Amino acid sequence: MSESTLRIGLVLPDVMGTYGDGGNALVLRQRALMRGIDAEIVQITLDDEVPDSLDVYTLGGAEDYAQRLATRHLTRYPGLQRAAAAGRPVLAICAAIQVLGHWYETSAGERVEGISLFDLTTAPQATRSIGELVTEPAVDGLQAPLSGFENHRGGTTLGSDARPLARVRHGVGNGVGDGTEGVIQGTALGTYMHGPALARNPELADHLLQRAMGVDSLSPLHLPQVERLRKERLAAGRRG
C-alpha cells in the first residue's frame, strides 16, 4: 500500500453512479475494517484531478451523456491510467468498461473515443440485456461462481491484450456471442455485474484487496448473511 491506511478511490460517483455501484467501494472498506485494516474512501468528482497514488480504484455505471463527461475528465486527468500502469487494481462496472476501452458507440450510432486502458471496443446490441447473470471466473485465484444483475445494451469485443473475467453460465455477459463476461488486463478488471458486484461476490472483493495491499492472502471473514445472499442470488440466476 502507498500508506498505512488503505485508500480506496471512488471515481466520478457524481456521473458514474447511476446503478448504486458506489457500494463496491463501501464493501472494500468494510471488509478491510473487519480485519483490523485502516481504510478510507477517497471520492474523486468532476471538480477533482484524478490522483495516481491511491491503492485501488472503483468506477460505476452510467448513461450515454454521463459516459462522455467521464471520458473527458479521465482524458484530461490521466491519474487512473498511470495508477493502472503502476499495477494498482481497478474495478470498472458496466459503462465504465466502455469508457476505459478504445471506443464505444452510443445508441444513436456515434462513436466516442475512450481512454484505452482496456484493449476492447463496444457497439450496441440488437436488444438490451437485462437480468441475473451467473458466470464461472477465468482468473487465477478466483474459484467461486460470480453473480450480478446485468442491464446494458453494449456488446463488448476484447482485443488480443485483454482476456475475459469469466465465462457465462446464465445470462448474456459481453454480448458478442462468444460466452465471455467482463475483462481483465493487468491489474484492472471490468464486469457488467451490478448488485453491487462486490457485495454479491466476496471472493472478488478480497482478490482486489489482496492486490491493493500486495499480500497473497487475507484472514477469512465468516459472514452467514453474505453467504445467504450469494446462495439466493445464484439460485435466482440459474432459474432465470
Task: Please state the residue numbers annotated as binding site.
Answer: 128
Would residue 143 be called left, alpha or beta, if left means φ above 0 and alpha means ψ between -120 and 50 degrees? alpha
Distance CA 50, CA 71 (A): 12
The residue with cell 440485456 is 129
For this structure, is 222 an active site residue? no
Q: What cell numbers appear for 23 in the block?
A: 457500494
Residue of 200, 204, 118, 198 lying closest to 154 (CA atoms): 118
Tell me, yes or no, if 102 is annotated catalytic.
no
Given a contact cutoff of 8 angstroms between Cβ atoms, the answer to whether 207 and 166 are in contact is no
**Which one of the listed residues 73, 94, 152, 207 is annotated catalytic?**
94
Degrees to nearest 5, angle at CA 188 with 156 and 9: 115
Biggest CA–CA distance in the chain, Å, is 49
Is residue 26 within 8 Å of 41, Cβ to Cβ? Answer: yes
List the catalytic residue out of 73, 152, 170, 194: 194
In the annotated binding site for substrate, the residues are 128
* CB of 75 closer than 8 Å to CB of 81: no
CB 151 within 8 A of CB 19: yes
Alpha helices in the chain (DSSP H): 23-33, 64-76, 79-85, 95-99, 197-200, 202-213, 224-239
Residue positions annotated with a catalytic role: 94, 194
